[in-house]
Amino acid sequence: ACHEVKTGAKHGFTLKAEGAAMCLECHEAEKFQGKVVHGPVGQGQCTACHDPHSSKEKALIRFDNVGAMCAECHSEALEGLKFVHGPVAVGQCTACHAPHVAGEAKLLRAADPAMCLECHSDVGERVAEMKHKHPPVETACLSCHKPHGAGNKMMLASTAPTLCNECHEDVVAKVSDAKCKHSPAAAEGGCTSCHDAHASMSDKLLKQENSSKVCLSCHDKAMKAGERSLLNIAEHLGQNPHHHGPIQKGECTPCHDPHGADRSSLLTKNFPQKFYSAFSPDAYGLCFDCHEAEVFETAEGGDTEFRNGDRNLHYLHVNKSFKGRTCRACHDPHASKNDKHIREQTPFGKWNIPLNYQPSENGGSCGPGCHQVYRYDRVAPVSNTSDTK
Protein backbone atom coordinates (compact mmCIF):
# COMPACT_ATOMS: atom_id res chain seq x y z
CA ALA A 1 0.00 0.00 0.00
CA CYS A 2 2.92 2.35 0.71
CA HIS A 3 5.88 0.77 -1.11
CA GLU A 4 6.66 -0.32 -4.66
CA VAL A 5 9.16 -3.08 -5.58
CA LYS A 6 12.25 -1.85 -7.35
CA THR A 7 12.94 -3.41 -10.71
CA GLY A 8 16.01 -5.51 -11.15
CA ALA A 9 17.65 -8.40 -9.37
CA LYS A 10 18.30 -6.53 -6.09
CA HIS A 11 15.46 -6.84 -3.58
CA GLY A 12 14.28 -3.29 -2.68
CA PHE A 13 11.34 -0.95 -2.36
CA THR A 14 10.52 2.73 -2.95
CA LEU A 15 7.71 4.85 -1.43
CA LYS A 16 4.76 5.50 -3.65
CA ALA A 17 4.73 9.17 -2.56
CA GLU A 18 6.83 11.56 -0.46
CA GLY A 19 6.07 13.05 2.98
CA ALA A 20 2.50 13.85 3.90
CA ALA A 21 1.30 12.95 0.43
CA MET A 22 1.96 9.34 1.30
CA CYS A 23 -0.08 9.53 4.51
CA LEU A 24 -2.94 11.38 2.83
CA GLU A 25 -3.48 8.43 0.56
CA CYS A 26 -5.44 7.01 3.49
CA HIS A 27 -5.87 9.85 6.05
CA GLU A 28 -8.36 12.58 5.12
CA ALA A 29 -6.61 15.86 4.28
CA GLU A 30 -9.44 17.93 5.81
CA LYS A 31 -8.48 16.70 9.27
CA PHE A 32 -5.12 18.43 8.98
CA GLN A 33 -6.39 21.81 7.86
CA GLY A 34 -7.40 24.57 10.26
CA LYS A 35 -6.74 28.01 11.68
CA VAL A 36 -3.66 26.93 13.63
CA VAL A 37 -1.52 24.11 12.23
CA HIS A 38 1.20 22.26 14.15
CA GLY A 39 4.60 22.96 12.55
CA PRO A 40 5.47 19.36 11.58
CA VAL A 41 1.98 18.91 10.09
CA GLY A 42 2.33 22.04 7.97
CA GLN A 43 5.72 20.86 6.76
CA GLY A 44 4.46 17.38 5.95
CA GLN A 45 6.74 15.75 8.53
CA CYS A 46 4.31 13.17 9.85
CA THR A 47 7.09 10.70 10.66
CA ALA A 48 8.71 13.20 13.05
CA CYS A 49 6.08 12.09 15.56
CA HIS A 50 4.68 8.84 14.14
CA ASP A 51 6.49 5.60 13.30
CA PRO A 52 5.18 4.41 9.93
CA HIS A 53 5.43 0.72 10.84
CA SER A 54 4.71 0.06 14.53
CA SER A 55 4.85 1.40 18.08
CA LYS A 56 4.04 0.45 21.65
CA GLU A 57 1.78 3.51 21.86
CA LYS A 58 -1.49 4.44 20.20
CA ALA A 59 -1.33 6.45 17.00
CA LEU A 60 2.06 4.87 16.34
CA ILE A 61 3.88 7.65 18.16
CA ARG A 62 7.66 7.26 18.28
CA PHE A 63 8.07 7.74 22.04
CA ASP A 64 6.99 6.10 25.30
CA ASN A 65 4.29 8.72 25.79
CA VAL A 66 2.98 11.92 24.26
CA GLY A 67 4.82 14.07 26.80
CA ALA A 68 8.20 12.62 25.93
CA MET A 69 7.47 13.14 22.25
CA CYS A 70 6.47 16.79 22.72
CA ALA A 71 9.53 17.43 24.91
CA GLU A 72 11.78 16.60 21.95
CA CYS A 73 10.93 20.04 20.56
CA HIS A 74 9.27 21.85 23.49
CA SER A 75 11.69 21.07 26.32
CA GLU A 76 11.78 24.73 27.42
CA ALA A 77 8.16 24.48 28.55
CA LEU A 78 9.20 22.02 31.27
CA GLU A 79 12.41 23.58 32.53
CA GLY A 80 12.74 24.62 36.18
CA LEU A 81 9.21 23.71 37.26
CA LYS A 82 8.78 23.12 40.99
CA PHE A 83 5.06 22.49 40.71
CA VAL A 84 3.86 20.71 37.56
CA HIS A 85 0.34 20.74 36.08
CA GLY A 86 -1.23 17.27 36.31
CA PRO A 87 -1.56 16.51 32.58
CA VAL A 88 2.04 17.62 32.02
CA ALA A 89 3.31 15.46 34.88
CA VAL A 90 1.83 12.30 33.30
CA GLY A 91 2.76 13.22 29.74
CA GLN A 92 -0.79 13.98 28.56
CA CYS A 93 -0.13 17.14 26.53
CA THR A 94 -3.01 16.31 24.20
CA ALA A 95 -5.48 16.74 27.06
CA CYS A 96 -5.17 20.49 26.35
CA HIS A 97 -3.45 20.72 22.97
CA ALA A 98 -4.60 19.25 19.66
CA PRO A 99 -1.65 17.47 18.02
CA HIS A 100 -2.42 18.50 14.44
CA VAL A 101 -4.69 21.54 14.03
CA ALA A 102 -6.91 23.73 16.21
CA GLY A 103 -8.98 26.86 16.13
CA GLU A 104 -7.09 28.43 19.06
CA ALA A 105 -3.54 29.70 19.50
CA LYS A 106 -1.01 27.22 20.91
CA LEU A 107 -3.19 24.47 19.40
CA LEU A 108 -5.46 24.64 22.46
CA ARG A 109 -8.54 22.49 22.16
CA ALA A 110 -10.68 25.36 23.52
CA ALA A 111 -10.19 28.98 24.49
CA ASP A 112 -9.10 30.04 27.96
CA PRO A 113 -10.99 29.84 30.36
CA ALA A 114 -13.26 27.22 28.75
CA MET A 115 -10.21 24.98 28.32
CA CYS A 116 -9.42 25.09 32.05
CA LEU A 117 -13.02 24.59 33.13
CA GLU A 118 -13.27 21.31 31.24
CA CYS A 119 -11.35 19.82 34.18
CA HIS A 120 -11.74 22.47 36.88
CA SER A 121 -15.52 22.37 36.77
CA ASP A 122 -15.73 22.93 40.53
CA VAL A 123 -14.26 26.40 40.06
CA GLY A 124 -16.65 27.12 37.21
CA GLU A 125 -19.69 26.01 39.20
CA ARG A 126 -18.68 28.07 42.23
CA VAL A 127 -17.97 31.18 40.16
CA ALA A 128 -21.33 30.85 38.40
CA GLU A 129 -23.12 30.95 41.77
CA MET A 130 -21.31 34.06 42.98
CA LYS A 131 -22.49 37.65 42.66
CA HIS A 132 -19.04 39.19 42.24
CA LYS A 133 -16.42 37.66 39.94
CA HIS A 134 -12.74 38.43 39.49
CA PRO A 135 -12.50 39.59 35.83
CA PRO A 136 -9.59 37.27 34.87
CA VAL A 137 -11.68 34.26 35.92
CA GLU A 138 -14.16 35.08 33.15
CA THR A 139 -11.60 36.05 30.53
CA ALA A 140 -8.15 34.56 31.09
CA CYS A 141 -7.05 32.06 33.76
CA LEU A 142 -3.55 32.39 32.33
CA SER A 143 -3.38 35.95 33.64
CA CYS A 144 -2.54 34.40 37.01
CA HIS A 145 -1.74 30.73 36.40
CA LYS A 146 0.95 29.08 34.27
CA PRO A 147 -0.44 26.22 32.14
CA HIS A 148 2.47 23.80 32.44
CA GLY A 149 3.90 24.50 35.86
CA ALA A 150 5.51 27.13 38.03
CA GLY A 151 7.67 27.80 41.03
CA ASN A 152 4.56 28.44 43.14
CA LYS A 153 1.62 26.33 44.30
CA MET A 154 -1.47 26.34 42.12
CA MET A 155 0.85 27.11 39.19
CA LEU A 156 0.65 30.79 40.07
CA ALA A 157 2.88 33.01 37.97
CA SER A 158 3.99 34.67 41.22
CA THR A 159 2.61 34.96 44.72
CA ALA A 160 0.47 37.72 46.19
CA PRO A 161 0.97 40.61 46.56
CA THR A 162 3.37 40.64 43.57
CA LEU A 163 0.85 38.89 41.34
CA CYS A 164 -2.05 41.10 42.41
CA ASN A 165 0.04 44.25 42.05
CA GLU A 166 0.36 43.69 38.30
CA CYS A 167 -3.24 44.88 37.91
CA HIS A 168 -4.09 46.66 41.16
CA GLU A 169 -1.69 49.56 40.80
CA ASP A 170 -3.86 51.86 42.92
CA VAL A 171 -3.47 49.56 45.91
CA VAL A 172 0.27 49.28 45.27
CA ALA A 173 0.61 53.05 45.34
CA LYS A 174 -1.48 53.36 48.51
CA VAL A 175 0.46 50.71 50.43
CA SER A 176 3.80 52.01 49.17
CA ASP A 177 3.11 55.60 50.20
CA ALA A 178 1.25 54.87 53.45
CA LYS A 179 2.98 55.68 56.72
CA CYS A 180 0.90 52.99 58.42
CA LYS A 181 0.65 49.76 56.40
CA HIS A 182 -1.77 46.93 57.08
CA SER A 183 0.56 43.94 57.38
CA PRO A 184 -1.45 41.51 55.17
CA ALA A 185 -1.35 44.01 52.28
CA ALA A 186 2.44 43.71 52.10
CA ALA A 187 2.93 40.11 53.31
CA GLU A 188 3.44 37.20 50.91
CA GLY A 189 0.06 35.68 50.18
CA GLY A 190 -1.57 38.39 52.27
CA CYS A 191 -4.11 39.55 49.69
CA THR A 192 -5.90 36.21 49.82
CA SER A 193 -6.23 36.50 53.60
CA CYS A 194 -9.12 38.87 52.94
CA HIS A 195 -10.03 38.46 49.27
CA ASP A 196 -11.10 35.40 47.28
CA ALA A 197 -9.05 35.05 44.11
CA HIS A 198 -11.95 33.83 41.99
CA ALA A 199 -15.36 35.01 43.16
CA SER A 200 -17.45 35.99 46.16
CA MET A 201 -20.95 36.97 47.16
CA SER A 202 -19.46 40.12 48.72
CA ASP A 203 -18.19 43.27 47.07
CA LYS A 204 -14.40 43.53 46.67
CA LEU A 205 -14.32 39.71 46.56
CA LEU A 206 -14.24 39.56 50.36
CA LYS A 207 -14.00 36.07 51.79
CA GLN A 208 -16.73 36.82 54.33
CA GLU A 209 -20.11 38.47 53.93
CA ASN A 210 -18.86 41.84 55.20
CA SER A 211 -15.67 43.64 56.18
CA SER A 212 -16.32 43.19 59.90
CA LYS A 213 -16.27 39.41 59.66
CA VAL A 214 -13.14 39.52 57.52
CA CYS A 215 -11.37 41.72 60.07
CA LEU A 216 -12.48 39.59 63.01
CA SER A 217 -11.06 36.46 61.39
CA CYS A 218 -7.64 37.87 62.41
CA HIS A 219 -8.53 40.37 65.14
CA ASP A 220 -9.90 37.65 67.40
CA LYS A 221 -6.78 37.74 69.53
CA ALA A 222 -4.53 40.32 71.13
CA MET A 223 -1.58 41.16 68.88
CA LYS A 224 1.35 43.52 68.51
CA ALA A 225 1.79 46.19 65.85
CA GLY A 226 5.29 47.50 66.32
CA GLU A 227 5.41 48.74 69.88
CA ARG A 228 1.62 48.98 70.15
CA SER A 229 -0.66 46.32 71.62
CA LEU A 230 -3.85 45.78 69.65
CA LEU A 231 -7.09 44.88 71.37
CA ASN A 232 -8.81 41.53 70.84
CA ILE A 233 -11.73 43.17 69.04
CA ALA A 234 -13.79 40.00 68.66
CA GLU A 235 -13.69 39.40 72.42
CA HIS A 236 -14.37 43.09 73.11
CA LEU A 237 -17.46 43.09 70.89
CA GLY A 238 -18.68 39.89 72.48
CA GLN A 239 -18.42 41.34 75.96
CA ASN A 240 -20.01 44.70 75.10
CA PRO A 241 -23.51 44.66 73.56
CA HIS A 242 -23.73 48.30 72.45
CA HIS A 243 -21.79 48.48 69.18
CA HIS A 244 -20.75 51.52 67.18
CA GLY A 245 -23.04 52.11 64.18
CA PRO A 246 -20.66 50.91 61.43
CA ILE A 247 -19.96 47.71 63.37
CA GLN A 248 -23.71 47.10 63.69
CA LYS A 249 -23.80 47.18 59.88
CA GLY A 250 -20.84 44.78 59.64
CA GLU A 251 -18.44 47.47 58.43
CA CYS A 252 -14.96 48.36 59.63
CA THR A 253 -13.77 50.17 56.50
CA PRO A 254 -15.72 53.43 57.04
CA CYS A 255 -13.17 54.17 59.79
CA HIS A 256 -10.17 51.97 58.92
CA ASP A 257 -8.47 51.64 55.54
CA PRO A 258 -7.84 47.92 54.91
CA HIS A 259 -4.60 48.48 52.98
CA GLY A 260 -2.76 51.45 54.43
CA ALA A 261 -3.12 55.01 55.67
CA ASP A 262 -1.09 57.95 56.88
CA ARG A 263 -2.80 57.84 60.28
CA SER A 264 -2.34 55.53 63.20
CA SER A 265 -4.74 52.56 63.40
CA LEU A 266 -5.25 52.85 59.62
CA LEU A 267 -7.85 55.59 60.20
CA THR A 268 -9.37 56.91 56.99
CA LYS A 269 -9.63 60.51 58.24
CA ASN A 270 -8.31 62.72 61.02
CA PHE A 271 -8.98 61.94 64.64
CA PRO A 272 -6.97 63.27 67.64
CA GLN A 273 -4.61 60.66 69.03
CA LYS A 274 -4.18 62.33 72.42
CA PHE A 275 -6.59 62.53 75.33
CA TYR A 276 -6.64 66.35 75.11
CA SER A 277 -6.86 68.19 71.82
CA ALA A 278 -7.82 71.64 70.54
CA PHE A 279 -11.17 71.48 68.76
CA SER A 280 -11.65 71.98 65.03
CA PRO A 281 -14.01 70.24 62.61
CA ASP A 282 -11.07 69.04 60.51
CA ALA A 283 -9.40 67.46 63.54
CA TYR A 284 -12.49 65.23 63.92
CA GLY A 285 -12.98 64.50 60.22
CA LEU A 286 -13.45 60.80 60.97
CA CYS A 287 -16.38 61.39 63.32
CA PHE A 288 -17.98 64.16 61.30
CA ASP A 289 -18.39 61.88 58.30
CA CYS A 290 -21.45 60.60 60.17
CA HIS A 291 -22.03 62.98 63.10
CA GLU A 292 -22.94 66.65 62.64
CA ALA A 293 -20.14 69.06 63.53
CA GLU A 294 -22.71 71.70 64.48
CA VAL A 295 -23.52 69.74 67.66
CA PHE A 296 -20.06 70.62 68.97
CA GLU A 297 -20.04 74.23 67.79
CA THR A 298 -22.91 75.74 69.80
CA ALA A 299 -22.83 76.30 73.55
CA GLU A 300 -26.61 76.33 73.91
CA GLY A 301 -29.09 73.86 72.42
CA GLY A 302 -28.05 71.70 69.50
CA ASP A 303 -29.34 68.32 68.41
CA THR A 304 -27.82 66.36 71.29
CA GLU A 305 -29.19 64.43 74.26
CA PHE A 306 -26.15 65.40 76.31
CA ARG A 307 -27.72 68.62 77.61
CA ASN A 308 -28.38 70.12 81.00
CA GLY A 309 -31.47 72.07 80.02
CA ASP A 310 -30.24 73.98 76.97
CA ARG A 311 -26.60 73.88 77.96
CA ASN A 312 -24.76 71.73 75.39
CA LEU A 313 -22.45 69.46 77.36
CA HIS A 314 -20.79 68.07 74.24
CA TYR A 315 -19.67 71.61 73.46
CA LEU A 316 -18.55 72.08 77.09
CA HIS A 317 -16.27 69.03 77.04
CA VAL A 318 -14.94 69.07 73.49
CA ASN A 319 -14.92 72.59 72.10
CA LYS A 320 -11.87 74.05 73.79
CA SER A 321 -8.79 75.65 72.31
CA PHE A 322 -6.78 73.97 75.08
CA LYS A 323 -7.41 70.60 76.74
CA GLY A 324 -10.57 69.74 74.84
CA ARG A 325 -11.63 66.19 75.66
CA THR A 326 -11.66 63.97 72.61
CA CYS A 327 -14.56 61.65 71.84
CA ARG A 328 -12.63 58.68 73.19
CA ALA A 329 -12.51 60.22 76.64
CA CYS A 330 -16.13 59.16 77.15
CA HIS A 331 -17.01 56.89 74.21
CA ASP A 332 -15.53 53.59 73.13
CA PRO A 333 -15.15 53.67 69.33
CA HIS A 334 -16.06 49.99 69.02
CA ALA A 335 -18.48 48.93 71.76
CA SER A 336 -19.43 49.27 75.41
CA LYS A 337 -21.86 47.98 77.99
CA ASN A 338 -23.63 51.37 78.09
CA ASP A 339 -25.94 52.94 75.55
CA LYS A 340 -24.30 55.46 73.20
CA HIS A 341 -21.17 53.27 73.64
CA ILE A 342 -20.27 55.27 76.76
CA ARG A 343 -17.22 53.79 78.46
CA GLU A 344 -17.10 52.24 81.92
CA GLN A 345 -13.53 53.52 82.22
CA THR A 346 -11.19 55.51 80.00
CA PRO A 347 -7.40 55.17 79.51
CA PHE A 348 -5.43 58.13 80.88
CA GLY A 349 -1.72 57.40 80.84
CA LYS A 350 -1.27 54.31 82.99
CA TRP A 351 -4.56 54.87 84.79
CA ASN A 352 -7.97 53.68 83.62
CA ILE A 353 -10.29 56.39 84.94
CA PRO A 354 -13.72 55.03 86.02
CA LEU A 355 -16.59 57.11 84.61
CA ASN A 356 -19.34 55.79 86.88
CA TYR A 357 -21.96 56.80 84.32
CA GLN A 358 -25.57 56.36 85.42
CA PRO A 359 -28.43 57.10 82.99
CA SER A 360 -31.74 58.60 84.12
CA GLU A 361 -35.06 59.19 82.37
CA ASN A 362 -34.13 62.64 81.03
CA GLY A 363 -30.36 62.69 81.52
CA GLY A 364 -27.83 61.02 83.78
CA SER A 365 -24.77 61.48 85.90
CA CYS A 366 -21.12 60.61 86.00
CA GLY A 367 -18.48 60.71 88.70
CA PRO A 368 -15.14 60.10 87.04
CA GLY A 369 -11.73 60.44 88.59
CA CYS A 370 -11.38 63.88 87.02
CA HIS A 371 -14.27 65.60 88.80
CA GLN A 372 -17.00 65.06 91.41
CA VAL A 373 -20.38 63.57 90.55
CA TYR A 374 -22.21 65.84 88.09
CA ARG A 375 -25.78 65.36 86.93
CA TYR A 376 -27.62 66.62 83.90
CA ASP A 377 -31.28 66.73 82.97
CA ARG A 378 -32.64 67.85 79.62
CA VAL A 379 -36.05 68.82 81.03
CA ALA A 380 -35.26 70.14 84.54
CA PRO A 381 -31.66 71.42 84.47
CA VAL A 382 -29.56 70.55 87.51
CA SER A 383 -27.37 73.03 89.41
CA ASN A 384 -24.11 71.19 90.05
CA THR A 385 -22.24 72.59 93.06
CA SER A 386 -19.34 71.30 95.11
CA ASP A 387 -21.70 69.69 97.63
CA THR A 388 -23.84 67.96 94.98
CA LYS A 389 -24.56 64.37 96.01
pTM as predicted: 0.85
Average pLDDT in the chain: 92
- Assign 311 a pLDDT band (cuts: 50, 70, 90): very high
Q: By percentage, how much of the chain surpasses pLDDT 70? A: 98
Give the type of residue at 114: A
pLDDT value at position 386?
52
- pLDDT of residue 387 exceeding 80, the answer is no
| C-alpha closest to that of 246 among 227, 229, 225, 268 | 268
- Assign 388 a pLDDT band (cuts: 50, 70, 90): very low
| C-alpha closest to that of 181 among 253, 256, 266 | 266
- pLDDT of residue 150 exceeding 50, the answer is yes
Q: What is the mean pLDDT of residues 152-181?
A: 93
pLDDT value at position 171?
92
Instruction: Look up residue 204 and give its DSSP letter.
Output: G
Q: What angle do CA 153, 154, 157 make, to 5 degrees?
A: 85
Contact at 8 Å (CB) between 136 and 168?
A: no
- Assign 9 a pLDDT band (cuts: 50, 70, 90): low
pLDDT greater at residue 286 or residue 385: 286
pLDDT greater at residue 51 or residue 389: 51
pLDDT value at position 186?
84
Q: What is the mean pLDDT of residues 43-53?
A: 94
Per-residue pLDDT of 328-347, as tens digits, reads 999 999 999 999 999 999 99
What is the Cα–Cα distance from 211 to 236, expressed in whole angstroms?
17
- Assign 285 a pLDDT band (cuts: 50, 70, 90): very high
Instruction: Look up residue 166 and give its DSSP letter.
Output: T
What is the Cα–Cα distance from 77 to 232, expressed in whole angstroms?
49
Q: What is the mean pLDDT of residues 260-269?
A: 95
- pLDDT of residue 271 exceeding 90, the answer is yes
- Assign 113 a pLDDT band (cuts: 50, 70, 90): very high
User: Is the N-terminal amide bond of 161 cis, ω within 30° of 0?
Assistant: yes
Contact at 8 Å (CB) between 366 and 357?
A: yes
| C-alpha closest to that of 179 among 97, 257, 247 | 257
- Assign 389 a pLDDT band (cuts: 50, 70, 90): very low
Contact at 8 Å (CB) between 376 and 364?
A: yes
Per-residue pLDDT of 183-239, as tens digits, reads 999 888 899 999 999 999 999 999 999 999 999 999 999 998 888 889 999 999 999
